[in-house]
Amino acid sequence: MSIDPIALVISDVDGTLVTGSKRLSPATIRAVARLGEAGIGFTVASARPPIGLRGLVEALDLRLPMGAFNGATVVGPDLSVIEEHLIPEGAAREAAARLAGAGLDVWVFADGLWCLRDPDAPYTDSERRTLLTEPRVVADLGPLLARASKIVGVSADHRHLAACEAEIGDALAGRATVHRSQAYYLDVTPPGIDKGGFVGWMARHLGIEPRRIATFGDAGNDRAMFACGGLSVAMGNAEDAVKAAAGAVTGTNDADGFAAAIERLVLP
């Protein structure tokens, strides 16, 4: 645990803050409220688009900027854009082609919308529950690739997706950031920007040292946060590599692991 008192907690959302059914448990809501009572700030960094963070704002009384698209888009609690980065068009087109060539369903997040070709493909129902919105169905994703915030390759074959992460990540190195946000989602986001960058952004925004920031996560894209803050906590449902990158491990997201770690490791 960091020697310095924690001034800010930044948490991933899916697999960390919410349960497997995408709900905030009463214990989690209470833990966030207790942070506020103790004068400790709280916000989220997520692969979700801004619209997917809307339901958290009221439930958790969020008042600080939030990092959407793995930190590539920073929005206020009203979802107004504070800072935004897009995937360079050439990289976006190559990413979409490589994802499709690997047999993955491809989604494009652009213009604030979730866009896809097949509304009944695997995991679309899960994404509807997560974002509380319907996708925009298009015949051709091509025109969206000039203004894409995030491109996602989707597959129920988790082993294949892990292999695609390594292969496509190498092919797009320096031109896009490629990480799995879930076992079934492979995210392509703007280059040089990740959740670790959002930790730094928040440290500068609030005028605090990064070592006074605690980070929580469960997936590969959360390791960048772990490397930039002070206290880092992996969920019990995280992969071994994610746990190894964290300073502490708590219970699973379905067993109130976030709330338990806040009580045990963060609150005075």
Which of the listed residues 189, 212, 230 is the one where a domain comes to its end? Answer: 189
Residue 68 contacts residue 46 (beta carbons within 8 Å): yes
102: Cα within 13 Å, side-chain hemisphere: 27
Assign residue 148 the CATH number of its domain. 3.30.1240.10
pLDDT at 3: 64
Domain containing 176 equals 89-189
| 256 within domain boundaries | yes
Confidence check: pLDDT of 1 > 80? no
Confidence check: pLDDT of 9 > 80? yes
pLDDT digits (tens, 9 = 90+) for 190-224: 999 999 999 999 999 999 999 999 999 999 999 99
Are 119 and 78 members of one domain?
no
pLDDT digits (tens, 9 = 90+) for 106-127: 999 999 899 999 999 999 999 9
Are 209 and 229 members of one domain?
yes
* Single-letter amino acid code for the residue at 258: F
Continuous segment of H or E residues that includes residue 28: helix 26-37
Assign residue 64 the CATH number of its domain. 3.40.50.1000
Q: What is the average per-residue pLDDT within 161-190?
A: 95
Are 79 and 197 members of one domain?
yes
Which of the listed residues 189, 209, 224 is the one where a domain comes to its end? Answer: 189
Confidence check: pLDDT of 2 > 70? no
Q: What is the average per-residue pLDDT within 159-187?
A: 96
Are 246 and 185 members of one domain?
no
Confidence check: pLDDT of 4 > 90? no
**Sequence-ordered list of residues with C-beta below 8 angstroms from that of 85, at least 6 positions apart, any chain:** 72, 73, 149, 190, 193
Are 110 and 94 members of one domain?
yes
- DSSP label of 109: E
Instruction: Write 245-250 long-range contacts (CB < 8 A, 24+).
Output: 246/217, 247/1, 247/2, 248/1
Confidence check: pLDDT of 160 > 90? yes
Calculate the alpha carbon distances from 132 to 125, 128, 181, 192, 214 in Å. Answer: 10, 5, 18, 29, 28
Are 121 and 210 members of one domain?
no
Are 154 and 209 members of one domain?
no
| 1 within domain boundaries | no
Are 168 and 97 members of one domain?
yes
* H runs (alpha helix) in 76-231: 89-101, 124-131, 158-171, 195-206, 223-228
Are 183 and 201 members of one domain?
no
In three-state secondary structure terms, 11 is strand
pLDDT digits (tens, 9 = 90+) for 133-149: 999 999 999 999 999 99
How does the average pLDDT of the chain come out, rounded? Answer: 96
Are 123 and 156 members of one domain?
yes
Overall number of domains in the chain = 2
pLDDT digits (tens, 9 = 90+) for 27-65: 999 999 999 999 999 999 999 999 999 999 999 999 999
Which of the listed residues 168, 189, 210 is the one where a domain comes to its end? Answer: 189
